[in-house]
Amino acid sequence: MDGVRLGLDISARQRHARVFNLGDRKDPCARTPAIILLDDDVNLPENIAPFICSRIDDNLPPSFLIKGRAALCPPFDNFSPEWEFIQGHVYPPSLSDTDGKSNGSITPILSLSLQRMMHDSNIVDIEHPSIIVITDAIQLSSRSREFVEAMLTVRETFPSSLIWCPGLSGPDNIAFLTWLGVDLHDLSRTRQAHAAGALLTSNGPRKINLELEGELTFELQINQWKNEISTIRDSINNFNLRELVEKRILNYPKSVEQLRHHDYLVYERKMKSSARHVSKERILQCNSPLIRTDPIIMEWSNKISKYYTPHKTRQKLLILLPCSARKPYRNSKSHRRFSQDIGNVLATEISVTSPLGLVPRELEELWPASNYDIPVTGHWDAEEKLIVTNALSGILKRVNFELIINHSGFSLGSEFCGINVIETTNDNFSEEIQKAKKELNLENETPKTKRMIEYHTISNWNYGNSNWLDGSKLVGKGPHWKIEKSGKPFARWNHLNSSFSFSKASLPVLAETNTLPFAKIKLPENWNGDVFGPMIVSFDENIRVGDVVLLFDEKDVLIGSGIAQAPAWEWNHGCGRLAKIRHRL
């Protein structure tokens, strides 16, 4: 048996979905999602089907041989790998509590079932396998929560392994399976559909249209795979796989059920796969009600309800505003007009929107509030109303505002949570603001003070504290303020990805105040590159894509910082670049 590992690199990722490059990283011969051929399958190009799996005996449990159809393993001078594995006994998921013996292979191919995951201690702390075969995938998929939980656990435990669910994939569900982290797929369901005279498409099986498509051929079936795999790879590269998944899961109620379970599980696991900072070109499309269970949306609305607290100087007057098509809202014509009417008065401004619920002015530059789009009808359904009122009620439990001026168009009545509400229109908005300013004896604040309060709020939201800002001041001209401390440049706000760009001088203070996530690495000789998996000694489990990560050596000496390219779960023996170096001390 060939014991070498696959040549793997990652060219694109979105949450748990990745595009792996297979083979030589300088000239990969295949990418995922990819097909693994079985006996008697049609011959396909190696760049879409880099593996073939054959049964090698008639024993029970059976043994199989997986061969590379291209040079996939170092030194990339011949076709490789060539691995045998034993499937092991496969118990149905209903017997997962049975402590039976599986006797399946472990490495380089791990034969895995739900029962084995629960009872086989031999698979704990094993060397990362190259391929993981989920042997009971078909049966397990009928138990939605157990299925997505198993896939999530396997994906996050073995970030550099390729996952295969035999017999489960088709052009109609490969997008969703890729979203769960599955990398390899086979043609079993396509062969079944073909035998039944049906074409298995991205929308499910259907009869062929003889007038337009001619006779049903297997080439037509393969074209469905090629088109969908190309679409998925492009979607991951452009960070819009979620939108594609929301379309495809409508093929089957079970898939909708599984996505909802997956969303809640990811949210409960503290969003380990989500990004915190993204480029301004990346847009979260909120075109379907399914987006409301997206962990990104749930995290935002729940944090607003449970944790957001306005600055102590802004706790008399609450002004509710409508959202705008242009993001951040402050750049829109309507919000510039609102700002002129409000002036520099000390008040809390919150925009009402769907599906996020509420977006405070201090946080509107953050993802996803600054990068989402939604069709606007002016109608609020029952669930949207509940999201808004729950979030607002949560804030009002912590802050005793004296008055709410509601200019959002979202009806609250004349009183909400015991606080007087004044509904306004464009005709009387400015007048009511001035009246409230006089009655509540509200003072004004300078633009510089206003921006510093926003920086404190953003830091508390992202990092849990803003202690690093103590003793700092803003210099320069707005809106591109610079943060200075002890006469030295400390940080500035990066409008391109809505994050703080920290100077080298700020790193010791950020370490002392436990502001940023960290990682401990072992330094190669003459190290001048980025951070890769073999260098990792330990890491913060809260790392998200785009985070600034403080880097320490094995003696706990701060040596610099990097920008995370992968979420925390990939830092556990993951492949590819994990962080791009920003500063060296």
Q: What span, in angstroms and rounded, lies between the C-alpha atoms of 206 and 194?
A: 10
Instruction: Please list the ranges in the chain whose pLDDT falls under 50.
Output: 1-2
| H/E element, 543 | none
Final residue of a structural domain among 421, 439, 457: 439
Q: Angle between the 144-157 and 253-268 helix axes, to the nearest 10 degrees?
A: 50
Q: What span, in angstroms and rounded, lies between the C-alpha atoms of 569 and 160?
A: 11
Nearest to 508 by CA among 558, 440, 443, 575: 558
Residue pair 82/74 in contact by the 8 Å Cβ criterion: no
Asked if residue 336 and residue 224 are part of one domain, the reply reads no
| H/E element, 67 | strand 63-68
**Residue-level pLDDT at 247:** 95
Asked if residue 366 and residue 238 are part of one domain, the reply reads no
The CATH number of whichever domain residue 434 belongs to comes to: 3.40.50.10630
Q: Is residue 277 part of a domain?
A: no
Residue 501's SS3 state is strand
Q: Within its chain, how far is the Cα of 120 from the centroid?
A: 31
Q: Is residue 343 part of a domain?
A: yes
Residue pair 179/17 in contact by the 8 Å Cβ criterion: yes
Final residue of a structural domain among 439, 474, 500: 439
Residue 521's SS3 state is strand
Q: Residue 283 burial (CB < 10 Å; 0-12/13-18/19+)?
A: middle
Final residue of a structural domain among 439, 472, 505: 439
**Residue-level pLDDT at 377:** 83
Q: Angle between the 429-439 and 333-342 helix axes, to the nearest 10 degrees?
A: 30
Nearest to 90 by CA among 187, 184, 152, 166: 166
Contacts of 489 (CB under 8 A, 6+ apart): 482, 483, 503, 505
Nearest to 31 by CA among 15, 13, 43: 13
Q: Is residue 228 part of a domain?
A: yes
This model's pTM is above 0.85: yes
Q: What is the number of alpha carbons within 13 Å of residue 430 lying toward its C-beta?
A: 9
Q: Is residue 1 part of a domain?
A: no
Q: What span, in angstroms and rounded, lies between the C-alpha atoms of 206 and 229?
A: 19
The CATH number of whichever domain residue 574 belongs to comes to: 3.10.400.20
Residue 490 structural domain: 447-584
Number of domains present in the structure of the chain: 3
Asked if residue 454 and residue 385 are part of one domain, the reply reads no
Asked if residue 189 and residue 126 are part of one domain, the reply reads yes
Asked if residue 468 and residue 394 are part of one domain, the reply reads no
Asked if residue 511 and residue 493 are part of one domain, the reply reads yes
Q: What is the pLDDT of residues 216-264, one digit of tens each?
A: 999 999 999 999 999 999 999 999 999 999 999 999 999 999 999 999 9
Q: Is the peptide bond before 289 cis (omega within 30 degrees of 0)?
A: no
**Residue-level pLDDT at 202:** 96
Which DSSP symbol is given to 136?
Answer: T
Nearest to 220 by CA among 202, 245, 235, 241: 202
**Residue-level pLDDT at 271:** 65
Asked if residue 293 and residue 433 are part of one domain, the reply reads yes
**Residue-level pLDDT at 310:** 96
Q: Within its chain, how far is the Cα of 303 from the centroid?
A: 17
Asked if residue 490 and residue 454 are part of one domain, the reply reads yes
Residue 579's SS3 state is strand
Asked if residue 58 and residue 174 are part of one domain, the reply reads yes
Q: How crowded is residue 288: how many other Cβ atoms within 10 Å of its Cβ?
A: 17
Asked if residue 469 and residue 356 are part of one domain, the reply reads no
Residue 112's SS3 state is strand
Residue 14's SS3 state is strand
**Residue-level pLDDT at 198:** 96
**Residue-level pLDDT at 476:** 85
Asked if residue 574 and residue 476 are part of one domain, the reply reads yes
Nearest to 584 by CA among 530, 511, 522, 515: 530
Q: What span, in angstroms and rounded, lies between the C-alpha atoms of 136 and 94?
A: 11
Distances (CA, A) of 46 to 36, 396, 575: 10, 60, 22
